[in-house]
Chain A
Amino acid sequence: MTPQPRKESIVVLDNVYKYFPAIETIFGRSKAYIRAVDGVSLDIYEGEILGLVGESGSGKTTVARIVAGLLKPDSGRVLYRGFDIYSGKIPKHIRRKIQMIYQDPEVSLDPRYTVKQTIEEALRAAGRSTNETKDLVRSLGLSEDVLEKIPQQLSGGQKQRVAIARALAMRPDLLIADEPTSALDVSTRTQILNILLELNKSFGITIMIITHDLGVAAYMSDRIAVMYLGKIVEVGAAEEIIKEPRHPYTMALISSSPSASRLSKVNIKPIGEIASQINIPKGCRFHPRCPFAMEICRREEPPYFDVGDGHVSACWLHGGAPKT
C-alpha cells in the first residue's frame, strides 16, 4: 500500500505473519498451524481512526495484539514511529504511548484494585502525579464516588470508562480498541464510541478500532481495513468501503450487517461459513464462498489492485494491472 501524500504513518506493518501451532505436543513441534495472520501489510496514519473489520477467526485480534507489542510475529516487521517494536531497541517511554482497550470490561480491571488504585498505578507508570486521578475520572463522565469502588461494584459501561481512563493516564498516542463495545449494553455502546471519537478529535490520539460490526466501523473510522482469514482483502476510506465496496467479501459483510446495509446498495450472500484457519483455501482464500468465483481464483492468490485514491482491493475481478 502506498502511503498517501501528506499523511505520516504512526504504525507500519510490513508483511507480518503469525502462526499458532494447532496441536501442542510434548516436544513443541506441530505439523498443523493456525494461520492467524498470514502476510499483513498495513499503515496506520497519524491522527486517524482506522477500523479493522472481519468475522471471528479472521485474525483481527491477533493483529491488534501484534501492534500493541504483546505478541511477537513470526516474521515481518512492526514499526512504531520508525522503531521496530520487537527489536528491544524501542525506548520504553515511546512504547508506553501504545495503549489498549479491551473487549470484556469484566476482566480488564484487576478485581482487587479500587478504581483509584488502578488509575494511580497508571499515572505512576507515566511519571505523572497521582493528584490527577480525580480529574481523569471526571473527564470521562464518571462521578468521584467510583474512586473507592472495586470493579465488581461498577456497571459494564463504568468499567469500560475506567479502562479508558487508565489508558489515558499514559498519555497515549495510539489507542488500540479491541471490540470495545461488543460486551456492553446497547445503551452504553454509543457513549463509549463517542468518548473515543472525542479523544481522537480533541487530543489527536490515533485509534485503531477492531470490530466485527461494520456499522460501528462506519460510525467511527476514517479508513476501514477488511480482514479475511489472516489477510487484509480491502482497505480504503470508510465512506467508500461502505458505499462502494470492491471486494466481494466486503460486500457480503455489508449485506449481512443490518446497520451498514442501510448505507449501501450492495447485497450479496456469501456461501457457507468461514473456512478453517488451518486449511486455508488455495488461490484466493475467499473463492469457495464467493458468488463471483472464476477459474483464476482457484489457482492464484490475487494481488492488491489499486482501485483509486488509496483504495486497495485484493480481487481478480478488478483485472487490469496489479498494484504491487
Chain B
Amino acid sequence: MSTRIAYTLYSLARMIREDRYFAAGFITILVVIILSAAASIISPYDPYKIDLINKLRGPSPEHPMGTDQLGRDLFTRILYGGRYTLFLSASAVLLALVIGLLVGTLSGYYKGWLDLIVQRFVDILMSFPSIILAIALATMLGYGLETLVIAVAIAESPFLIRVVRAAVISIRDLPYIEAVRLMGYGDLYVILRHVIPNIMYVVIPQVTLQMGSAILIIAALGFLGIGIKPPTPEWGSMLNEARAYLMDYPHLLIFPGLMIFLSIVSFNIVGESLKMRLDPKARSLIGSRSRLVWGLYRGGRRGLDERNTSY
C-alpha cells in the first residue's frame, strides 16, 4: 500500500517536471486551497466585519484587493470564499463520484434491463444543461448547504455514470476478470477488487474535469441567489453583491471573477493532462501547447475522445 502511495507521489512529481501546463494548473489549485484553508492565519480581518468608513476603497497596502460596499476586506472575503466555493464543489463532485461509481458500475456490469432503464434516465438528465438542472433541483430541494451539494452532485453525476459505465463495459468480459469469476469469487469481490481499480484511470481525469464544471455551477447559483446567499463570502454570491458597482468599482467583480476563472481553468488543464497521461489511447495529435487552448475552450465538459480515438 505504501509503495503505491510512493509511486503515486513519484508519478505526480514527474508529471509536474515534464508537463508545464499540468504543473501550472496543479500548483494554482494547491495555492488556492492552501490560502483558503489558512485564511484565518493569513488575514487579520474578519470577513463579516462591517467598516462603513473604509467602504469601496481600491487596492492599497492594508487592503490588497480593496474593500467592498460595506467596508469588508475583499482579500479576506476571497480567501474565506474559497472555502465555500471549493469545499462545496469538491463535496458535490465526491458525491457525484459515489453516485457515478455505484450506478455506472451496476449498469455496466449487469447490463440488461437495469442498464436500459438507468441509461434512459441518464439520457433525460443529460438533455438538460447541468446548470439548469442544478437550478431546478436547488430550488426544489430548498435552501441549505446540503441541498446545494446534492443538487450539484445530481447535475454532475450523469457524466460520471456514463464514463464509469463505458469503462466497466470495456473490461467486464476481459479474461482477467473472467478468470477471477471462474475461481468462484462473487460479483462484489470482482467489482471491488478488479473492476473499479482498473477503471480509475478514466475516472480520475473525469472527476477533475467535473470539478471545473461544479465550481462554475456553485458560483452561478451563488450569483443567481439560489445557492450561497450574502453575506456569506462565496465567490458567486460576491459577484452578485458587487453587480451594482460594476461601472464605478470594477475591482469588486474582477477579483472574485478572476478566482472563479483561475480555479476552473486549472482544474480543466489538470484534468486534460491527467487524461493524456493515464489513458494511452487518448494521446493525441494535439500537442501539449494547444492543450491549454482546448482546456479553455472545452469549459469542463466531456473529453477529447471523439478527436483522439481514431487515426
| Chain B contact residue count (CB 8 A cutoff) | 16
Structural contact, B198 and A99, CB atoms closer than 8 A: no
A99 to B184, CA, bound (A): 11
In the complex, whether A222 has a CB less than 8 A from a CB of chain B is no
B-facing residues in A53-104 (Cβ within 8 Å)? 68-70, 92, 95-96, 98-100, 102, 104
Structural contact, A102 and B183, CB atoms closer than 8 A: no
20 inter-chain pairs at a CB distance below 8 angstroms, sorted by A residue, are: A26-B116, A69-B182, A70-B178, A96-B183, A100-B175, A100-B178, A100-B179, A104-B175, A110-B177, A110-B180, A110-B194, A111-B176, A111-B198, A121-B180, A121-B183, A122-B183, A125-B183, A125-B184, A126-B183, A163-B179
Smallest CB gap from A65: residue in B: B178
In the complex, whether B185 has a CB less than 8 A from a CB of chain A is yes
Structural contact, B180 and A92, CB atoms closer than 8 A: no
B184 / chain A contacts, CB cutoff of 8 Å: 92, 95-96, 125
A166 to B178, CA, bound (A): 13
In the complex, whether B174 has a CB less than 8 A from a CB of chain A is yes
Structural contact, A110 and B198, CB atoms closer than 8 A: yes
A170 to B194, CA, bound (A): 19
Smallest CB gap from A96: residue in B: B184
In the complex, whether A15 has a CB less than 8 A from a CB of chain B is no
User: Could you list which residues of chain B lie within 8 angstroms of chain A, going by C-beta atoms?
Assistant: 116, 174-185, 194, 197-198
A262 / chain B contacts, CB cutoff of 8 Å: none
Smallest CB gap from A117: residue in B: B193
The majority secondary structure among interface residues of chain B is helix
A201 to B8, CA, bound (A): 46
Structural contact, B182 and A100, CB atoms closer than 8 A: yes
User: Could you list which residues of chain A lie within 8 angstroms of chain B, going by C-beta atoms?
Assistant: 26, 68-70, 92, 95-96, 98-100, 102, 104, 107-112, 121-122, 125-126, 163, 166-167, 170
A107 to B177, CA, bound (A): 9
11 other contacts beyond A92-B184, A98-B182, A126-B183, with CB at 8 A cut-off? Answer: A70-B178, A70-B181, A99-B182, A100-B175, A104-B175, A110-B194, A121-B183, A163-B179, A166-B179, A167-B179, A170-B182
Structural contact, B183 and A170, CB atoms closer than 8 A: yes
A100 / chain B contacts, CB cutoff of 8 Å: 175, 178-179, 182
Structural contact, B175 and A96, CB atoms closer than 8 A: no
A243 to B184, CA, bound (A): 41
| B174 in complex: contacting residue of A69, A107, A125, CB < 8 Å | A107
B175 / chain A contacts, CB cutoff of 8 Å: 100, 102, 104, 107-108
| B182 in complex: contacting residue of A96, A109, A110, A111, CB < 8 Å | A96
Smallest CB gap from A104: residue in B: B175
Structural contact, A125 and B176, CB atoms closer than 8 A: no
Structural contact, B179 and A108, CB atoms closer than 8 A: yes
A170 / chain B contacts, CB cutoff of 8 Å: 182-183
Closest CB in chain A relative to B8 CB, distance in Å:
13
B181 / chain A contacts, CB cutoff of 8 Å: 70
A26 to B175, CA, bound (A): 28
Q: A70-B178, A104-B175, A110-B176 are in contact. Are A125 and B194 (CB under 8 A)?
A: no
Q: A107-B174, A110-B194, A110-B198 are in contact. Are A125 and B179 (CB under 8 A)?
A: no
